[in-house]
A and B are shown apart, each in its own frame.
Chain A
Amino acid sequence: MSVLTMEGVWKNFHGHSVLRGIDLEVEAHEVVSLIGASGSGKSTLLRCVNLLETVDDGAIHLDGEEITDPRVDVDGVRKRLGIVFQAFNLFPHMTVLDNITLAPRQVHGVAKAQAEEEAHALLTRFGLAQKAMAYPDQLSGGQQQRVAIIRALATQPRLMLLDEVTSALDPELVLEVLGIIRELKESGMTMILTTHEMSFCRDISDTVCFLDGGVLLEKGPPEQIFSEPEHARTREFLGSVLRSGRF
């Protein structure tokens, strides 16, 4: 069974449709990338999955359960999802360790000692063992984003949502963060990510989706989308990415 299915999802803001009937399936261990211009609806799609936005039509199922049902336990759904934001959104008043252990302890009822042990293991795995007691302000952007990923990972989510996680970083730091995501893929994590890093996207994705004006215009394996896109609009978008030197 698919981890996530979206059927005919619509989202309107102020009479303007941002998502126009999105259909999408994500299988276990699959990495799905969403590409498209700003305002094409990529981020809104992720926010709908996370129930940060209420869909205006259609349905989203997580492991077969309809999460867009008004009677659903929203916190219960979010417990099973991990999201990482473009701007990190770490809690500035907490140490790295407290940022990571907050949800395991408060939401999942993990004992303090165990939560901290697991957090230390994750920090070590991703090369941040020295930073456990540091505050977010004392870290570089790349380190902060890695902590944010670890924070999302600490609750062992069923599905990870990554929203332009490298957009606020300079190239060297981008590499740090992309390294982590690659490692996550190898460990079998199911992920949906939005990105402007096309070569990374081609490299890591199992499926690439091109969104345009709230419509999922084209979907397929990266080789197909990047080499022989069907739609003129996709070609146009990839062409402009190429010309801007971001490929």
Chain B
Amino acid sequence: MSEWVKSDRQKERERVRTVRARRSASIATVSTVVFIVLVVWLVTNSPGWPRVSETFFDREQLVKALPDVLSGFWLNIKIFLIAEPLILVVGLLVALARGITTPAFFPIRALATLYTDIFRGVPTILVIYLVGFGLPALRLQGVPTDLATLGVIALTLSYGAYVAEVFRSGIESIHPSQVAAARSLGLSHVRTMRFVVLPQATRRVVPPLLNDFVSLQKDTALVATIGPLEALRQAQIHAASTFNYTPYLVAALLFILLTIPMARLTDHLAARTRRRRGA
């Protein structure tokens, strides 16, 4: 059969499409510019603007605070890099424990349920207080006293509960026919989970998990409340000595810089899943 030679009609059609694409792009640009100009005009013309500009956007303060806040921020990064894998492990184990149906293991299931109920219910900042001040006060052998470590423990406890629920919903979203097929092949419950259910469930929960991690990245700032010198604490120290709030802005910008790549990665993965489903 003949090969495809683009017809004049198709060439004309593609020309129309290009024109329309160009038009939509220029409309988008214009409306974005108008929007930004409007917002900037509104903010800079507000009555309190000169004062806000002075206390939040002071270049000199920015330069002075940046090194300290940046070095504090390195601690934030370390906290969440250590907490993230721990949270994944805790979350997965708790999710699996909640799915155990063997009667003999009822206490484990009950404990897992109790854990998620409690730690999803208690505000993260309270967990940090309780762990940060309560745990060392027990004076038990081997309990860490390093504030950042205690912060990691608190964040892991708190986020582990959320992530467990994410994993659990992922496991439950796998159609029962998949379990039926695996069990029919003679695979045990554990092997069914390991080879059939979890690989599918994990793929499905990656976007909500990344969302929780974005949230975790900024919640590392809550650890400031028990004292370690991370970004927010450093900013507080600077602000307290000069009554200028620019250091807070510096800290905020650093957190945004950290979370934006994660947010884009989430979008990218979600888009990829949609494409694979052929939508």
- A residues sitting closer than 8 Å to B (CB atoms) are 8, 10, 12, 17, 20-21, 56-59, 68-71, 213, 215
Contact = CB atoms under 8 A, between A and B. Distances in A.
Interface of B: 1-2, 4, 6-7, 9-10, 13, 16-17, 20
Contacts of A21: 1-2, 4
A184 to B, nearest CB: 29
Nearest to A56: B10
Contacts of A17: 4
Nearest to A21: B2
Given A56-B4, A57-B4, A215-B1, 17 more contacts: A8-B7, A10-B4, A12-B4, A17-B4, A20-B1, A20-B2, A20-B4, A21-B1, A56-B10, A57-B9, A57-B10, A58-B9, A58-B10, A70-B16, A70-B17, A71-B16, A71-B20
Contact of A58 (B1, B7, B17): B7
Contacts of B1: 20-21, 213, 215
Determine the main DSSP class of B at the interface with A: helix
A10 B1 CA distance: 13
B7 A68 contact: no
Given A20-B1, A215-B1, A69 B13 contact: yes
A180 B16 CA distance: 42
Contacts of A57: 4, 6-7, 9-10
A contacts with B: majority SS: strand
A71 B21 CA distance: 12
A69 B1 CA distance: 26
Contacts of A71: 16, 20
30 contacts: A8-B7, A10-B4, A12-B4, A17-B4, A20-B1, A20-B2, A20-B4, A21-B1, A21-B4, A56-B4, A56-B10, A57-B4, A57-B6, A57-B9, A57-B10, A58-B7, A58-B9, A58-B10, A59-B9, A68-B13, A69-B13, A69-B16, A70-B13, A70-B16, A70-B17, A70-B20, A71-B16, A71-B20, A213-B1, A215-B1
Most B CB atoms within 10 A — which of A17, A57, A58, A68?
A57
A173 B206 CA distance: 40
Contacts of A70: 13, 16-17, 20
B108 to A, nearest CB: 34
A57 B9 CA distance: 8
A84 B6 CA distance: 32
The 4 closest A-B pairs by CB, nearest first: A57-B10, A70-B16, A70-B17, A215-B1
Contacts of A12: 4
B275 to A, nearest CB: 13
Nearest to B19: A70
A59 B9 CA distance: 8
B178 to A, nearest CB: 18
Nearest to A213: B1
Nearest to A20: B1
Contacts of A215: 1
A214 to B, nearest CB: 8
Considering residues B13, B16, B17, which has the most beta carbons from chain A within 10 angstroms of its beta carbon? Answer: B13
* Centre residue among A21, A56, A68, A70 by max chain B CB count within 10 A: A70
B173 to A, nearest CB: 14
B177 to A, nearest CB: 14
B4 to A, nearest CB: 6
A66 to B, nearest CB: 9
Nearest to B9: A59
Contacts of A20: 1-2, 4
Contacts of A58: 7, 9-10
Contacts of B2: 20-21
Contacts of B4: 10, 12, 17, 20-21, 56-57
Nearest to A12: B4
Contacts of A8: 7
B20 to A, nearest CB: 7
B16 to A, nearest CB: 5
Contacts of A59: 9
A12 B5 CA distance: 12
A107 B9 CA distance: 31
A215 B2 CA distance: 10
A3 to B, nearest CB: 21
Contacts of A69: 13, 16
Contacts of B17: 70
A12 B4 CA distance: 10
